């Protein structure tokens, strides 16, 4: 069982040329865009992830899961966005894919962004959340094999998109959807406690259109857990984001739909619990997106591309090894497993005090910026970034590049509870983060926005 605490972050050319041209219609065609998708549905039965109470593998497939790649390039710069209908990529997966793509295409780490929809009805990715499962060696082999196939498919889908670039006009706009609620506030309310319940219903939309007017891709984001279906569901599917992408591709058959998950750490869909509700939320989101795509409200994006990637050290609160020795006797099997993992890490001399946390920024023209944060980021980061950078048109994505644990704000860290503390057990992390993490992350967001200006 390998968990890394310190991360060492770290030919195909486009035949179409890169010149910016003006079409007879007067439409400016900015960038070269490549689009590809690949089916990543595991063979069922598969070990599913997201809920610790599941006690058997999947029993069927409701709809397929996809990895999709969007390549953007102009004369000076390239950027690749990869979306996946998965709970989250492990550090190992994103590093391996990025390294292979660097070797094949010369793409640097800052030029590739991964995002996962965080569906709780998808397969396990090794070694993420290994604490929630009682793996036999044979089980672990199955999960590892799926993970290795996934790495190969992610490389393949990027190479495919890279090989098929064509000139397109990109435009951006915003709409909203209202089914996300603050789940911490809702849970506290049930216990008679009042907690602040921030939400962010913003839905950014990017349209990618050929000079002929044909829409080839729609990228949209939303900050809400893909947890409409719960731990009693054993059918593989992408939850509301899966349904939304299917619906958009049905309504615009020439387009590939890309979903980017925002700062959804403390956001749940409501109501939840059935396939009907997941479909309803997905269709609701898709309808908003498609209406905007067909409207005249989208603003063209200029042919400019910038990106930046860095990592910052986030510190955990110190936990003495003796506490984990005690945890080995716990009646809670998850606490026991985490303790075992931590003691193994101590014995191997690994540094369990710091996590190297990834932060990335992308700018398209002056019209759209995306900050991509690792982990299950709570909504406070999105709201604060938008407030402190008015007029920059920023979307803050969570669940990007890797999903190592929850990323609470200072407020959430102080309030405590699942996202601040107990979830760290399931993620196999030493314990809660040290105070001051929000300021460190915000400082890195400032730095990133400065670098991509
Ligand atoms: Zn989550």
Radius of gyration for the chain, computed over Cα atoms and rounded to the nearest angstrom: 21
16 located within any domain: no
Q: How far is the CA of 280 from the centre of ligand 1 (A)?
A: 21
- In tens digits, the chain (453 residues) has pLDDT values of 334 433 322 233 333 333 344 444 445 567 999 999 999 999 879 999 999 899 899 999 999 999 999 999 999 999 999 999 999 999 999 999 999 999 999 999 999 999 999 999 999 998 777 777 777 788 888 899 999 999 999 999 999 999 999 999 999 999 999 999 999 998 888 889 888 899 999 999 999 999 999 999 999 999 999 999 999 999 999 999 999 999 999 999 999 999 999 999 999 999 999 999 999 999 999 999 999 999 999 999 999 999 999 999 999 999 999 999 999 999 999 999 999 999 998 888 888 899 999 999 999 999 999 999 999 999 999 999 999 999 899 999 999 999 999 999 999 999 999 999 999 999 999 999 999 999 999 999 999 999 998
- The count of structural domains within the chain is 2
275 with 394, same domain? yes
Residue 158 CA, distance from chain mean position? 17
- For residue 17, the model assigns a pLDDT of 32
287 with 169, same domain? yes
Q: How far is the CA of 52 from the centre of ligand 1 (A)?
A: 12
Q: How far is the CA of 64 from the centre of ligand 1 (A)?
A: 21
Q: How far is the CA of 85 from the centre of ligand 1 (A)?
A: 14
- For residue 391, the model assigns a pLDDT of 87
Q: How far is the CA of 380 from the centre of ligand 1 (A)?
A: 15
Q: How far is the CA of 39 from the centre of ligand 1 (A)?
A: 23
190 with 337, same domain? no
Residue 143 CA, distance from chain mean position? 20
Q: How far is the CA of 90 from the centre of ligand 1 (A)?
A: 14
**Joined tokens for residue 24:** 């007879």
148 with 31, same domain? yes
Q: How far is the CA of 405 from the centre of ligand 1 (A)?
A: 8
266 with 337, same domain? no
77 located within any domain: yes
Q: How far is the CA of 72 from the centre of ligand 1 (A)?
A: 29
334 with 230, same domain? no
CA dist., res. 154 & res. 151, Å (int): 5
Q: How far is the CA of 384 from the centre of ligand 1 (A)?
A: 21
* Residue 107 C-beta-side C-alpha neighbours within 13 Å: 29
Q: How far is the CA of 268 from the centre of ligand 1 (A)?
A: 9
Q: How far is the CA of 442 from the centre of ligand 1 (A)?
A: 21
412 located within any domain: no
261 with 337, same domain? no
Q: How far is the CA of 444 from the centre of ligand 1 (A)?
A: 23
Q: How far is the CA of 18 from the centre of ligand 1 (A)?
A: 40
220 located within any domain: yes
428 located within any domain: no
120 with 154, same domain? yes
87 with 195, same domain? yes
46 located within any domain: yes
Domain region containing 330: 319-347
Environment class of residue 411 by beta-carbon count within 10 Å: exposed (0-12), middle (13-18) or buried (19+)? middle
245 located within any domain: yes
- For residue 219, the model assigns a pLDDT of 98
- For residue 26, the model assigns a pLDDT of 45
157 with 259, same domain? yes
Q: How far is the CA of 248 from the centre of ligand 1 (A)?
A: 25
Q: How far is the CA of 40 from the centre of ligand 1 (A)?
A: 20
**Joined tokens for residue 347:** 């014995």
369 with 222, same domain? yes
Q: How far is the CA of 132 from the centre of ligand 1 (A)?
A: 13
- For residue 132, the model assigns a pLDDT of 76
Q: How far is the CA of 223 from the centre of ligand 1 (A)?
A: 11
**Joined tokens for residue 182:** 């603050």
Q: How far is the CA of 225 from the centre of ligand 1 (A)?
A: 6
1 located within any domain: no
Q: How far is the CA of 60 from the centre of ligand 1 (A)?
A: 23
Q: How far is the CA of 224 from the centre of ligand 1 (A)?
A: 9
- For residue 27, the model assigns a pLDDT of 52
Q: How far is the CA of 118 from the centre of ligand 1 (A)?
A: 7
Q: How far is the CA of 206 from the centre of ligand 1 (A)?
A: 25
- For residue 22, the model assigns a pLDDT of 43
206 with 107, same domain? yes
Q: How far is the CA of 265 from the centre of ligand 1 (A)?
A: 6
Residues that place a CB less than 5 A from ion ligand 1: 376
């Amino acid at each position: 069982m390998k968990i890394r605490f310190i991360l060492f972050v770290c030919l195909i050319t486009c035949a179409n040329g890169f010149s910016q041209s003006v079409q007879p219609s007067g439409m400016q065609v900015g960038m070269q865009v490549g689009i590809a998708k690949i089916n990543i549905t595991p063979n069922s039965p598969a070990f599913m992830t997201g809920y610790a109470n599941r006690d058997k593998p999947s029993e069927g497939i409701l709809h397929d899961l996809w990895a999709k790649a969007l390549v953007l390039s102009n004369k000076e710069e390239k950027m690749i966005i990869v979306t996946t209908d998965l709970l989250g990529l492990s550090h190992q997966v994103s590093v391996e894919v990025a390294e292979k793509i660097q070797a094949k295409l010369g793409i640097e780490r800052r030029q590739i962004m991964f995002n996962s929809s965080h569906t709780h009805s998808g397969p396990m990715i090794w070694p993420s959340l290994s604490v929630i499962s009682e793996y036999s060696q044979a089980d672990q082999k199955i999960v590892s094999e799926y993970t290795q196939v996934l790495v190969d498919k992610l490389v393949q889908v990027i190479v495919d998109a890279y090989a098929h670039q064509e000139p397109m006009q990109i435009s951006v706009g915003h709409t909203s959807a209202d089914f996300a609620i603050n789940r911490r506030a809702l849970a506290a309310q049930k216990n008679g406690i009042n907690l602040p319940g921030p939400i962010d219903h913003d839905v950014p939309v990017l349209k990618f259109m050929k000079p002929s007017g044909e829409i080839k891709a729609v990228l949209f984001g939303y900050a809400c857990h893909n947890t409409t279906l719960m731990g009693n569901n054993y059918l593989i599917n992408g939850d509301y984001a899966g349904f939304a992408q299917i619906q958009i591709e049905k309504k615009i058959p020439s387009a590939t739909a890309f979903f980017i998950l925002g700062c959804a750490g403390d956001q749940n869909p409501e109501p939840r619990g059935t396939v009907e509700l997941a479909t309803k939320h997905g269709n609701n989101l898709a309808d908003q997106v498609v209406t905007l795509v067909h409207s005249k409200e989208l603003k063209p994006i200029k042919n400019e591309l910038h990106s930046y990637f860095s990592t910052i050290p986030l510190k955990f609160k110190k936990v003495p090894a003796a506490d984990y020795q005690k945890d080995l006797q716990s009646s809670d099997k998850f606490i026991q497993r985490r303790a075992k993992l931590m003691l193994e890490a101590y014995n191997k001399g690994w540094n369990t005090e710091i996590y190297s946390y990834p932060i990335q920024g992308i700018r398209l023209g002056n019209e759209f910026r995306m900050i991509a944060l690792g982990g299950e980021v709570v909504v406070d980061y999105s709201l604060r970034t938008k407030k402190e950078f008015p007029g920059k048109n920023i979307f803050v994505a969570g669940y990007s590049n890797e999903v190592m644990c929850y990323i609470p704000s200072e407020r959430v860290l102080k309030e405590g509870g699942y996202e601040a503390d107990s979830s760290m057990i399931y993620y196999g992390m030493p314990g809660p983060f040290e105070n001051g993490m929000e300021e460190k992350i915000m400082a890195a967001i400032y730095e990133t926005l400065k670098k991509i200006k």
